[in-house]
Each structure stands twice: as C-alpha cells, then as structure tokens.
Structure 1
Amino acid sequence: MTDVQGSHFPARHWHALKDGRIQCDVCPRYCKLNDGQRGLCFVRARMGQTMVLTTYGRSSGFCVDPIEKKPLNHFLPGSGILSFGTAGCNLTCKFCQNWDISKAREIDRLNQLVGPEDIARAALQTGSRAVAFTYNDPVIFLEYAIDTAKACRAAGIKNVAVSAGYIAPDARAEFYAHMDAANIDLKAFTEEFYHTLCGGHLDAVLETLKYLKHETDVWFEITTLLIPGQNDGDDELAALAAWVATELGPDVPLHFSAFHPDYKMTDLPDTPLSTLARAREIARRAGLHYVYTGNVHDEAGGSTYCPGCGTKLIGRDWYQITRWHLRPDGTCPDCGTAIAGHFEASPGTWGRKRVPVRFGSG
C-alpha cells in the first residue's frame, strides 16, 4: 500500500541551486524557491532542504464519465472512465473552464483523502475501463498520478492523462511511461496567445506533442478551445492543422471545442457552431482524417467517418454512441481502411451519464 502522506509527500524532479534556492524541474516554469515558498502551481512547495507535493492523496472529487467527455473518440469508445483531479495548475489561463478547481488555494477544497490502490479498486467496482487524471492538470500532481497509474495497471485498468502538455523533458518521460492515452489541450497556435492569456509558451506544448507521437506508444488526441476573436482566425487554424498534419500525421484526432464565458473572460460571447464547423472544414482540407466539434450539439461534427470512403462508422449524439459500423479488427466494412485508435469488437454501453463516486470523508 502507498502511504498517503498528504502535504508532506516527497516530490521528484528538483535540484538545489548554488544560491541556496531549490528549483522545481517538473514544468518549464522552473520555479526557484526559498524555504516555505510554493511554486506558481501552489501545490509543489519547498520544505526545508527538499520539495514536497502538498496534494498527494487529496482529490477535489471523483466521477465516472463517458470517455468521449475527455474527449477521446478513438480510445475504447462508449466506455466509462473514473475521473478525478486535485487542485492548482501550472498555467494561468484567463478563460479557464475549471477555474474553481485549478485555481483553488484552500486545502478544504480537497475533500477526499484517497490512496492509489483505493482508486484502482473503485475503477473495478464501477466497471470503468480506465482512470482519467483530469479536471486540473496532472503534471503538477505527478507523483500521485504515477503511483495511481501503477496501481491501475496492476489491476488491468488503463490510464488517461488530460493535460495542457506543459511539462519539462525529464518529468515528461517519467509521466507518460505510465499513461496509455492522453488528450492534450493545444490552446492556440501563437506565442502571443500563450504568453498573454495563459502565462506560458507554445513551444513547450508542441514538444510534448512531438514526443508523444515519435517517442511513445501513448494514444493521444488534441483539443483546441476556440475563443471568439482570440484564436479562431482562418490563418491560425490553417497553420495549426498544417502543423498537426506535418509533424504528427493525419491520423491524430483534433477536437475543436466551444468556449463559454468564464473566470476572467466573461465579456466574450459563446463560440457559435458556425465557427466550429469552419474550423473543422479547414482542418479537413489540411488533410486531417478525424476532426471533431465539441461542447455543442452537432452529431455530424461528433461522428467518425472513414477517411477512405467517407462512410459514417461511429455516430455520436453528445456522448451517446448512436451508430457502430466498425469491423471487430477496427477497419471499415465498406472499403477495408484501418481506423486509427484503440477499438474493441463492440462499443461500451456507458452512455452519456455521469456518476459521482464517494470514498467517505477525507
């Protein structure tokens, strides 16, 4: 059993500096801390001459979701996935859709004390095929995520990271060695957007995407939240899609998701469906085989089509599978084209429901 040590769990990926400070090496911020200070993420802290993770074993809540909600459309479609997060974040996105979790500072926001083996057992008991590290970015609770991933793999459960991909090289290699799938949030395709609205840098995220494609077997999909007037221009969308096609290949699924006003960007309108449809068409013209719309009711944009003959292979209405037209080997029955992803002979039957999971008081 892993000892759940809460705010005193030893952290990895740091080193001492000559000036007496300690540098955190988990993400490209490389926060340099004096004793008692916390990194920007707020959950990685210096305690004496070492680093600790203050949220190990502490969750902001558990829920079994449709795997399509992560979103993952090509990894065990139709299955349920036990999802959880902690608190804090290593980016400062002004449009954060989960800001009440990612920007949380009080420990009482983390209301469940749950160890890795407990999570693996809960996944089995709920019939979940996988566990998702989500709601806030698992990069900042790396030690807790990795220990949980190990327990899940031992129990035959898959591991999914939902992340912005803002992680340093050594930590990235360790983290993704324990993941089976990921959804990476590519927030925009300009350095100005990342610097101004997220407090980060685009290149670090692109490096994570290239690493996943060329140096791992992790199945991954990409999500871009389209914000009116900020990252939804034709030129930027064409450049983003061309980069994915060239650097990652045409079979990496790309999701364009609708923004709604939240956190520090409440003065902008919701993303119209027409913008998502336009982005989808631009990406398809760039040669991407699987492009989706999200956070809107759009069955056409949520369904999977054969890149060989155009047949609708998987129909989706929100997170509900409405059509399954794949062979058991994951190929199109009409033309034989292999569909990229991890499929089984038949889809899961979880549907669109969300089921909270309680472990008792923390």
Structure 2
Amino acid sequence: MNHPGRYWHMLDDGRIQCDLCPRYCKLHDDQRGACFVRMREHDAIVLTTYGRSSGFCIDPVEKKPLNHFYPGTSVFSFGTAGCNLACKFCQNWDISKSRDMDRLMDAASPAEIARTAAHWGCRSVAYTYNDPVIFLEYAVDTAEACHAEGVQNIAVTAGYISEAARAEFFAPMDAANVDLKAFTDDFYVQLCGARLQPVLDTLVWLVHESTVWVEITTLLIPGKNDTDAELSAMSQWIARELGPTVPLHFTAFHPDFKLTDIAATPAATLQRARRIALDAGLRHVYTGNVHDRDGGTTRCTGCGEPLIVRDWYEIIDYRLTPDGACPACGTALAGRFGAYGKPFGSRRIPVAIHRS
C-alpha cells in the first residue's frame, strides 16, 4: 500500500527531512512524521494512505463551505487518515487523528473515484475531512483523473503547505476553502501546534499566483479567537492583501476532542463577526452552523439585490444570470458559475465506489 512520496531530502546526519509542509519533520528509518501517514522507509519517504479512504459521501457544495463555486451542485467528498496540524478543537478528530489504518480502509484508485463522481453526476470532488496536503500524491493523481472525466476539484485545507509543494498540489485544483483558524500566532502555536504565517503565505499565493477560486473559513471559539480587535485585524488583512470580494465564512464551534470545556458559539457571536468584516470592506461574509438566512444570502455588490438566498444548505431563491451577473444591474458576481438547474439540496448521501 505504500506509495513513493515527494518533497524530501537526505540530511548530513543520515535522517530524511520531509519538505511537504512547514513542520519539516526529520525522520529515522521506519519513523512517521507528525501527520502519521508519511513515513521513512529505508532511504525514501512513502505515503501510507495512497488509495485508502475514510469513506465517500455526496454533499452540497455549500457544505464545504463554498458559496461562489457552482452553487447548488453536488460534490463527491472523501478523505484519509492523519493530519499535519494538532488542533485541540478538531471536529473530524476520529478521522484526522486516527492511528487505526485498517479501520479507515475503503480502497479506491484515483480512476475509480473519478468514475464514481461522474457516475453520480457530481460537478466536483472535494478532498476533505482531513487535510489533503498530507496525501498530496493521492490527491493530485485523483484530481487529474477527475479532470479527464470532466469533474472539477476542491481542496478543503488548512493551507499548511511548504512553498516547494504549493504549485503541484494546487495545479489541478479548481477551488479551495482555506481554514484560517485565527489571526494570532499564539492561537496557532497553543491550539494547533503550528504557525500562522505559512497559512497567510498560502492564501496570498493562491489569490495572486494561481487560478484557484478561494474562499476562507474561520471557526469562532468563544474566548479564543473572537475578540473585536482580532476579527477586525483579520478582516482588514483579507481586504487589503487578498481583495474585498474573497468570501469569508464564520462558523460555529461545538465542544469536541480536547476542547470540551468551552460552550458552543452563540449565533450572536457569528453575527457580530460578520458585521465587523463587512465594516472592514469585505463584500461577501457568511455565517455557518447556525440558522441565519441573512448570513447565508449572497448579495450583489453593485445594487445590493439578493442573488442567492440560502436556508441552511438549501437554496430557496437563485437570481443569477448563467454567466454569473446580477439581472437587475448587470454587475458580475465574483466566483465560478454556469447554467443553473435543480439544486442538489441539503442532503448527505453515503455512497460506495463504482467499480468498473
């Protein structure tokens, strides 16, 4: 099952350094990196989860969340075991922190995933549940197979990837939702075991150096990353460095994994964060994991007309022209759009791989 890995080099002391992410793990033989799934095998790095998934589901694209990437379409979602961050609040911890490789072993080749997504009429495949950066070789091969089937690709990622690996990983991706977990290095160090700057570097590169459509998600944790000052600083940085039309999603935390002593995020906190971001100049700010129809509505940046009205993950009104413009004033909406048919809806459908 082990697959040759990329982005590593031999050190003078005989260890191998993994160069895939900013952790730069230095490994002896048979030692695994912090992500658990990249391992030194003799004089090379191997990926131990190539072709092995934690399961497959069809979701609405709004659940990723992406509100400006072919709204209303279905997305074929999968992930593997492991993660290169150590978030104490991880809400997929049973997958991302799994050390039981056989329990999470739903085998599928890149070609089988692509064919299954096409078979079910999915517009895209999402690499999600855990961070696809750590299974780069599997993700890239699958994404290229998806393009051959006319299926697009979405990376749901924390953006914790090295400069050396960015271009290859994102080259076959059509969209990305990047999890900007907070806007202080202290939060990243204490709650994620990582650093903030590499994530900011990834975001700047994606927006300015790639063709990937980018949206950002921040999970607000009461008392940890939800002060007015931090939210204002983050929103101003996004508007200044990435642009005011990059969508930002504020989502609600619920107690999980190692952070069970903090209450769930109130809807009022998300609404306050949304107002701060809008006041900072961001044009598309959303709330998630709470019932807030206004916080799920996409409005025209020209005339303010509601263009896409959402209730949870359900689209209840869609007024965009096929080329993604406001029918009232003609202003183009930032994002990726096309002919709009019957929306997929809010359901989640577990599926099996379509074997040929």
Name the TM-score class by shorter chain.
Answer: over 0.9
Q: What residue in structure 2 maps to residue 203 of structure 1?
A: 197
Deviation of residue 360 (structure 1)? 8.7
Matched, 1:330 2:324: yes
**Equivalent residue for 1:171, pick from 153, 162, 165:** 165
Deviation by residue 1:10-68 (Cα, 9 ceiling, x = unmatched): 00000000100000000000000000100000000000011100000000000000000
Q: What residue in structure 2 maps to residue 158 of structure 1?
A: 152
- SS of 1:107's partner is coil
* Alpha-carbon contact 1:35-1:46 (below 8 Å) kept: yes
**Equivalent residue for 1:193, pick from 175, 187, 204:** 187
- SS of 2:102's partner is helix
* Alpha-carbon contact 1:131-1:160 (below 8 Å) kept: yes
Matches of 1:127 and 1:198, distance apart in 2: 36
Matched, 1:283 2:262: no
**Equivalent residue for 2:140, pick from 141, 146, 156:** 146
Deviation by residue 1:228-261 (Cα, 9 ceiling, x = unmatched): 0000000000000000000000010000000000
Deviation by residue 1:146-174 (Cα, 9 ceiling, x = unmatched): 00001000111001000000000111111
* Alpha-carbon contact 2:116-2:354 (below 8 Å) kept: no
* Alpha-carbon contact 2:88-2:258 (below 8 Å) kept: yes
List aligned pairs for 1:89-238, cutoff 5 A.
Answer: 89-238=83-232
Deviation by residue 1:272-324 (Cα, 9 ceiling, x = unmatched): 01000000000001111100000111111011011111111000011110001
Q: What residue in structure 1 maps to residue 292 of structure 2?
A: 298
Matches of 1:331 and 1:245, distance apart in 2: 22
Matches of 1:89 and 1:347, distance apart in 2: 36
- SS of 2:326's partner is coil
**Equivalent residue for 2:240, pick from 241, 246, 270:** 246
Aligned identity (percent) is: 65
Deviation of residue 347 (structure 1)? 4.7
Note the residue ranges of structure 1 that are not aligned, 5 or more in a row.
Answer: 1-5
Q: What residue in structure 1 maps to residue 37 of structure 2?
A: 43
**Equivalent residue for 1:255, pick from 236, 249, 252:** 249
Structure 1 pair 347–203 and aligned structure 2 pair: CA distance change class (3 A) = farther
Matches of 1:337 and 1:349, distance apart in 2: 23
**Equivalent residue for 1:59, pick from 53, 62, 84:** 53
Matches of 2:103 and 2:90, distance apart in 1: 17
Matches of 2:339 and 2:10, distance apart in 1: 52
- SS of 2:153's partner is strand
Q: What is the letter of the counterpart of residue 28 of structure 1? A: P
Q: What residue in structure 1 maps to residue 258 of structure 2?
A: 264
Structure 1 pair 26–313 and aligned structure 2 pair: CA distance change class (3 A) = same
Deviation by residue 1:185-209 (Cα, 9 ceiling, x = unmatched): 0000000000000000000000000
Matches of 1:247 and 1:118, distance apart in 2: 39
CA RMSD of aligned residues (A): 1.1
Matches of 2:89 and 2:239, distance apart in 1: 27
Q: What residue in structure 2 maps to residue 82 of structure 1?
A: 76
- SS of 1:109's partner is coil
Deviation of residue 180 (structure 1)? 0.4
Matches of 1:185 and 1:48, distance apart in 2: 34
Deviation of residue 109 (structure 1)? 2.6
- SS of 1:322's partner is strand
- SS of 2:46's partner is strand
- SS of 1:314's partner is strand
Deviation by residue 1:306-355 (Cα, 9 ceiling, x = unmatched): 11111110000111100011122211111221100001132552111111
Deviation of residue 140 (structure 1)? 0.3
Q: What is the letter of the counterpart of residue 32 of structure 1? A: K
Q: What residue in structure 2 maps to residue 3 of structure 1?
A: none
Matched, 1:13 2:17: no
Matches of 1:292 and 1:349, distance apart in 2: 20
TM-score, length of structure 1 as denominator length: 0.97
Note the residue ranges of structure 2 that are not aligned, 5 or more in a row.
Answer: none
**Equivalent residue for 2:335, pick from 324, 335, 341:** 341
TM-score, length of structure 2 as denominator length: 0.98
Q: What is the letter of the counterpart of residue 333 of structure 2? A: I
Matches of 2:341 and 2:24, distance apart in 1: 43
Deviation by residue 1:197-222 (Cα, 9 ceiling, x = unmatched): 00000000000000001100100100
- SS of 2:56's partner is strand
Deviation of residue 111 (structure 1)? 2.5
Deviating beyond 6 angstroms after TM superposition, the runs of 4 or more aligned structure 1 residues are: none
Q: What is the letter of the counterpart of residue 290 of structure 1? A: H
Q: What residue in structure 1 maps to residue 67 of structure 2?
A: 73
- SS of 1:270's partner is coil
Aligned pair count? 355
Matches of 1:224 and 1:33, distance apart in 2: 32
